[in-house]
Structure 1
Amino acid sequence: MHRSKHSKIHLILLGIVVVVFIWSAIMPATYLDWIAEVSPAIVILSIVIATYNKFRFTTLSYCIIALLSILTFIGGHYTYSEVPLFNWIKEEFDLSRNNYDRFGHFLKGLSAIVIRELLLAFTTLTKGAWLSGITISIVLAIAALYEIIEWLSTKISKGGKTSKDFLGMQGDRWDAQWDMSLAFVGAVLTLIIFSKIHDNLFKKKNDL
């Protein structure tokens, strides 16, 4: 019964993600930038869906995957430097840039829970300092890899408009460092806030 209840929640999350994905694909700022932005989320979602019957995450992890996918689809639709709400915040508080990308990289720290769950499920690691340290290291590695991909995109396209939108630096030469630092802070805070909740959910999932 509990498994059925959780399955319904997972289906609802998938439905929400699909609706946002369809919306994001309708007249985005540019289709090339949209493809570049949403492709990683599509790959991850495809893997999660394909392996659903073989391995199920906790509902907390699925909520995080759904949230991060939605954030990516929104960024892909508008480009990260032109998301309307954050343009309004920029103008209202006289900020120097649209901070949607910074907000997104900070929230990517939530992926620490998903990575933590994979480590608990497929390695001999148990909860403690080593698990937290390796989880944070993987989050940082993924953040760094993403920045390298963004940098390579500008080299391959020789600095075209699409690559600049994808890079989203907005004139800040330290943008990559900011993004990685925010992902690190987000991961640390995520583990501090959610680790105990995740442990309980992970135990209950395995008891089903």
Structure 2
Amino acid sequence: MNRYDWMLVIFTAVLVWSGIAPKDYPTWALEVSPAVIGAVLLVATRKRFQFSDFAYWVMLAHAVVLMVGGHYTYAEVPLFDWLREPMGWSRNNYDKVGHFMQGFSPAVIALEILWRNQVVKSRGWLVFLTICVCMAVSAVYELIEWLVAVLSQEAADAFLGTQGYEWDTQSDMLWCLIGACTMMLLQGFGGGLRRR
């Protein structure tokens, strides 16, 4: 098996585990669907555009974060419940990992697409537009969370995972920004990218 096959095996194994008796099936479907849609798109477009191995591993890590959050709900991931007391947290902060990845993973995707397709030629614009893409993804996700809350009071609390924190939306977007900036630093502000 090649590395892509191994990634699909890992993805499928975690997806199956995640779907076995999750905390709440409607929330599970909402949380896991971006990972499944992303995997289908990646498989469908792999011959036309191949990302770096690093990007695929980052996307897989993001999918795993989504599937773990879907299984337990973000507010009830056991490790982060256990960490609450030693870290002095008032809430389960697993959702912050999800929102960090919401910036970290799309940043590498945007970087590679924008740079290799020569959408931008300047590294400064590359950084700016990559961060803009990540923040747009975050804003759209927050709007989807709001819409779910309005349409379905039953699934809203588990899906939103605000845990009574009034600044949850703003905090989520900040963590996305931190994730995107972290990826930019790892990539040397696009300096490590090669055009193919």
The TM-score range, normalised by the shorter chain, is over 0.9
- Report how far residue 114 of structure 1 moved: 1.1
- Report how far residue 188 of structure 1 moved: 1.0
CA–CA distance in structure 1, aligned partners of residues 121 and 108 of structure 2: 14
More divergent stretch after superposition (43-52 vs 120-129): 120-129
- Quick one: which of 59, 80, 95 aligns to 2:53? 59
- Report how far residue 42 of structure 1 moved: 0.8
Would the aligned equivalents of 1:113 and 1:195 in 2 still touch at CA under 8 Å? no
Partner of 1:131: 126
CA–CA distance in structure 2, aligned partners of residues 74 and 117 of structure 1: 27
Please give the TM-score of this superposition, normalised by the length of structure 2: 0.93
Question: Structure 2: which 5+ runs fail to align?
Answer: none
Partner of 1:4: none
CA–CA distance in structure 1, aligned partners of residues 3 and 121 of structure 2: 28
- 1:167 paired to 2:160: yes
- 1:192 paired to 2:193: no
CA–CA distance in structure 2, aligned partners of residues 127 and 77 of structure 1: 42
Matched residue of 1:107: which SS? Answer: helix
- Report how far residue 81 of structure 1 moved: 0.4
Question: Structure 1: which 5+ runs fail to align?
Answer: 1-6
* Counterpart residue type for residue 186 of structure 1: G
Please give the TM-score of this superposition, normalised by the length of structure 1: 0.88
- Report how far residue 109 of structure 1 moved: 2.1
Partner of 2:17: 23
Partner of 2:67: 73
What is the correspondence of 1:134-145 to structure 2 with a 5 Å cutoff? 134-145=129-140
Partner of 1:94: 88
Would the aligned equivalents of 1:34 and 1:77 in 2 still touch at CA under 8 Å? yes
Partner of 1:3: none
CA–CA distance in structure 2, aligned partners of residues 123 and 196 of structure 1: 16
- Report how far residue 91 of structure 1 moved: 2.8
Would the aligned equivalents of 1:35 and 1:76 in 2 still touch at CA under 8 Å? yes
Would the aligned equivalents of 1:169 and 1:175 in 2 still touch at CA under 8 Å? yes
Would the aligned equivalents of 1:109 and 1:139 in 2 still touch at CA under 8 Å? yes
Matched residue of 1:146: which SS? Answer: helix
- Quick one: which of 15, 30, 33 aligns to 1:36? 30
CA–CA distance in structure 1, aligned partners of residues 73 and 135 of structure 2: 23
Deviations 1:81-138 (A, max 9, x none): 0000000001333310000001221132222011111112334313511000000001
Runs of 4+ in 1 over 4 A off after TM superposition: none
Q: 1:62 to 1:198 in 2, by over 3 A?
A: farther
Matched residue of 1:96: which SS? Answer: coil
- Report how far residue 15 of structure 1 moved: 1.2
* Counterpart residue type for residue 141 of structure 1: A
Would the aligned equivalents of 2:127 and 2:189 in 1 still touch at CA under 8 Å? no
Q: Percent identity?
A: 36
